[in-house]
Amino acid sequence: MDRRNYPRTHVSIPVKFHIRHLETPEEPWIGRGVLKNLSLTGIFFIADDQPPIKPGDIRDFTFTPSYPLEEEPKLFMIRARGKVSRIETSEDHICFGVAVDFITGPYFG
């Protein structure tokens, strides 16, 4: 039985994402992948490359649609601060599943 407080929406949306470290002025790490599910308390996405994060890390995340042409309009944006709860690695290390629990947000725009 699912004991979640908020329903989870299952999707399959190609995204570009930014992961920003909170305490350093460095440019955010930018990756591509697929948004798999979203709720008001967290998000799960598949990353094409292993992000420089580990369970327990708190980061700022921004997700926008990924189009073949970067000139395409952005139909949505999701921003949130979250704590990485787990990272799943495929057996062939081709993709990485990342689960994030929201601390603030999500904010949609």
Length of the chain: 109
Residue that wins the pLDDT comparison between 72 and 107:
107
- Determine which of 19-23, 72-76, 85-89 has the lowest per-residue pLDDT on average: 72-76
| Dist CA 61 CA 71 (whole Å) | 22
pLDDT in tens, 9-19: 899 989 999 99
pTM score: 0.86
- CATH class, 9-108 region: mainly beta
Cα–Cα distances in angstroms (integers) from residue 71 to residues 18, 27, 75, 84, in the given order:
18, 22, 12, 31
| Dist CA 41 CA 66 (whole Å) | 23
> Domain extents for the chain?
9-108
pLDDT in tens, 29-65: 999 999 999 999 999 999 999 999 999 999 999 999 8
| Dist CA 11 CA 55 (whole Å) | 23
